């Protein structure tokens, strides 16, 4: 039997639509559904921008979308409006087409890309577009307001990104959020207790995973962003102790890592899980998640085997130098060296991009040839393993972004090395691979491992990958530093723009900035009275996934109720997103001459 339904027009403010087939009174088998595309009854023009802003001298672009094709010509009128509504930049744009046009994956809009990189007047602006839907009917759309100013992404997001880590602290009373929590961290596999308090809650749960992008990577990112932009971040000191927040936060994480270092071999212990079994999945506020009493049944546990934390070498080493500069005694360089010896005594050390970053930091700190030799050998391994398409192997995601970033840092640190020309050529090939996957109005890079047809939202991943997107931005920004290739800078900004609002949902996925953040987050902090959104300042959600799990267009859980929390696939914050965000903005070239 075939059933046909004509649905009513959705409410005017609806941003998402779900169709559900259900039956009562007996079993029904639904064989197939087919949505018929009709001409929209209401013509719309929308303008998507980075809702935080654009650097004064850097790339700037917006995307205009219409649900109709203009009747007079394949163009729309575009203009920038500044304070006082005066028009500051006007032009006519030609249509860039649709994405997945005419297929079930069609994004539903005609797109235009407006590049206004040459506009360099500081201020607050909105972008406006006009298109003729039919003779005598012009439709107008306007963007969210945004800033144009030097270093805007560092100024507007770096400090708030540090605040995210502060609120995620474990074993600490965070004012306005929760009392000290998980003071019973943690039980070792042999049943004895180890003081493992501290660190950060990894995501919307309370685990502290000791893996490549956990607390060890956070120390590195916090130290790097402070080191690169201390002139801007030094002013933020919430407890007035003379230690700027970014440095204080890196130090907080380093103290936790020190507790987790195995005295026998220098390795770091395994994950700290909040409960002996699946109990840690309990949905409560953090300070009542366990009884905070050592030796009871709900003590968090430390898992075996040892953690995979090579980036702790780079984090401890960079932080040691920053603390030494302030005459603060510490043993983090010694700890880094012990962990270094642990990893380099095992197979697979050469060519590990995260351990390679440690070698760069250790050579800068000590001047010892062994670290430069390790870096040289790793560079040779990276170049040899580069795929024919330009991507790198053995890395997170499918591009090899951390390897690319590491190679760029090597080039910046050793500009007179004999490998310099080969490194630059390799990174140019990587960049061209990235650009080949970003041929769309948003400049968003496609996903998919070698051999697969690349898509925007890879179905095998299962959750949003803003950390991949921002990782590519970090690598490209460093390539721009090294080579001066303007394409790298534009590509980096396009990836950041996507996360910060230049996307078809008009969603700024950086909490506390922009005009439209996720309505709710998949975070147990929503059990804290007054924090029902679960929204931590500076949090970055996982991001877009394939729509309804089947279509290669952006899907995001924008629900405002009806369940305890939205889907973790799109809406859970996670340390790794903020880690790579800090690295990405720290790699953008300063626009104030410092």
Q: Model confidence over 255-266: pLDDT tens digits?
A: 999 999 999 999
Higher pLDDT, 318 or 13: 318
Pair 200, 237 in one domain: yes
Domain count across the chain: 3
Average pLDDT of the residues in 531-549: 95
The whole domain housing 373 covers 150-385
pLDDT of residue 307: 80
Q: Which of 210-214, 285-289, 301-305 has the highest mean pLDDT?
A: 285-289
Pair 562, 424 in one domain: yes
Q: Which of 193, 141, 132, 197 is nearest to 170 (CA)?
A: 197
Pair 440, 512 in one domain: yes
Render pLDDT for 557-566 as a digit per residue (tens, 0 to 9): 999 998 999 9
Domain boundary, last residue among 350, 365, 385: 385
Q: Are strands 53-54 and 146-148 parallel, antiparallel or unpaired?
A: parallel
Pair 96, 230 in one domain: no
Q: 27 in a domain, yes or no?
A: no
Distance CA 426, CA 444 (A): 22
Q: 7 in a domain, yes or no?
A: no
Pair 342, 197 in one domain: yes
Question: Which residues are CB-contacts of 93 (< 8 A; sequence separation ≥ 6)?
Answer: 64, 75, 76, 77, 78, 112, 113, 114, 129
pLDDT of residue 404: 97
Q: 353 in a domain, yes or no?
A: yes
Distances (CA, A) of 26 to 22, 23, 130: 11, 7, 52
Q: 255 in a domain, yes or no?
A: yes
Residue found under tokens 């300042």: 537
The CATH code of the domain that includes 97 is 2.60.40.10
Render pLDDT for 220-249 as a digit per residue (tens, 0 to 9): 999 999 999 998 999 999 999 999 999 999
Pair 430, 355 in one domain: no
In contact, 538 and 578? CB cutoff 8 Å: yes
Dig out the tokens for 226 from the structure.
């402070």
Q: Which of 153-162, 275-284, 459-468 has the highest mean pLDDT?
A: 153-162
The count of other CB atoms within 10 Å of the CB of residue 328 is: 13
Give the HSE-up count for residue 300: Cα atoms under 13 Å, Cβ half-sphere: 33
The CATH code of the domain that includes 519 is 1.50.10.10
Domain boundary, last residue among 114, 148, 182: 148
Average pLDDT of the residues in 375-398: 89
Widest Cα–Cα separation across the chain? 80
Pair 175, 230 in one domain: yes
Domain boundary, last residue among 98, 130, 148: 148
């Amino acid at each position: 039997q075939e059933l046909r339904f004509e649905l009513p027009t959705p409410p005017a403010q609806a941003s998402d639509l779900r169709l559900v087939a259900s039956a009562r009174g007996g079993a029904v088998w639904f064989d197939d559904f087919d949505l018929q595309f009709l001409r929209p009854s209401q013509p719309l023009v929308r303008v998507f921008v980075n809702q935080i802003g654009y650097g004064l001298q850097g790339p700037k672009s917006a995307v205009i979308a219409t649900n109709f094709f203009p009747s007079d010509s394949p163009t729309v009128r575009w203009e920038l409006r500044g304070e006082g509504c005066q028009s500051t930049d006007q032009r006519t744009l030609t249509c860039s087409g649709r994405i997945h046009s005419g297929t079930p994956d069609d994004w539903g809009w005609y797109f235009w890309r407006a590049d206004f990189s040459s506009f360099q007047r500081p201020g607050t602006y909105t972008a406006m577009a006009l298109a003729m839907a039919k003779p005598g009917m012009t439709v107008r759309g306007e963007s969210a307001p945004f800033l144009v100013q030097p270093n805007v992404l560092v100024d507007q997001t770096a400090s708030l990104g540090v605040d995210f880590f502060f609120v995620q602290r474990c074993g600490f009373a965070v004012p306005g959020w929760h009392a000290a929590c998980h003071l019973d961290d943690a039980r070792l596999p042999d049943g004895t207790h180890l003081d493992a308090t501290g660190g950060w809650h990894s995501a919307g749960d309370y685990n502290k995973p000791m893996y490549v992008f956990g607390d060890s990577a956070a120390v590195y990112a916090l130290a790097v962003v402070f080191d690169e932009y201390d002139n801007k971040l030094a002013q933020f000191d919430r407890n007035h102790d003379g230690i700027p927040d970014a440095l204080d936060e890196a130090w907080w994480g380093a103290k936790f890592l020190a507790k987790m270092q195995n005295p026998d071999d220098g390795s770091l212990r395994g994950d700290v899980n909040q409960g002996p079994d699946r109990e840690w999945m309990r949905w409560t506020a953090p300070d009542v998640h366990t009884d905070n009493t050592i030796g009871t049944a709900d003590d968090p546990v430390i898992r075996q085997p040892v953690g995979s934390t090579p980036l702790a070498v780079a984090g401890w080493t960079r932080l040691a130098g920053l603390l030494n500069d302030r005459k603060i005694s510490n043993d983090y360089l010694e700890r880094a060296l012990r962990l270094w010896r642990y990893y380099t005594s095992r197979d697979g050390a050469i060519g590990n991009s995260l351990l390679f970053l440690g070698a760069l930091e250790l050579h800068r700190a000590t001047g010892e040839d062994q670290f430069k030799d390790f870096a040289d050998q790793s560079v040779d391994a990276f170049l040899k393993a580069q795929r024919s398409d330009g991507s790198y192997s053995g890395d997170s995601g499918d591009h090899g972004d951390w390897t690319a970033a590491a190679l760029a840092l090597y080039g910046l640190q050793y500009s007179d090395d004999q490998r310099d020309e080969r490194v630059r050529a390799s990174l140019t090939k990587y960049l061209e691979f990235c650009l080949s996957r970003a041929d769309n109005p948003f400049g968003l890079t496609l996903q998919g491992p070698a051999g697969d047809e690349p898509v925007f939202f890879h179905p095998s991943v299962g959750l949003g990958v803003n950390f991949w997107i921002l990782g590519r931005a970090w690598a490209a920004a460093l390539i721009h530093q090294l080579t001066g290739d303007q394409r790298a800078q534009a590509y980096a900004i396009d990836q950041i723009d996507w996360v910060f609002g230049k996307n078809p949902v008009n969603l700024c996925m950086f909490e506390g900035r922009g005009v439209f953040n996720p309505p709710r987050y998949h975070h147990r902090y929503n059990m804290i009275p007054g924090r029902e959104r679960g929204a931590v300042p500076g949090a970055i959600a996982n991001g877009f996934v394939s729509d309804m799990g089947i279509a290669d267009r952006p899907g995001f859980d924008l629900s405002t109720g009806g369940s305890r929390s939205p889907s973790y696939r799109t809406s859970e914050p996670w340390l790794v997103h903020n880690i790579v965000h800090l690295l990405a903005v720290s790699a953008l070239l300063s626009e104030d001459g410092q």
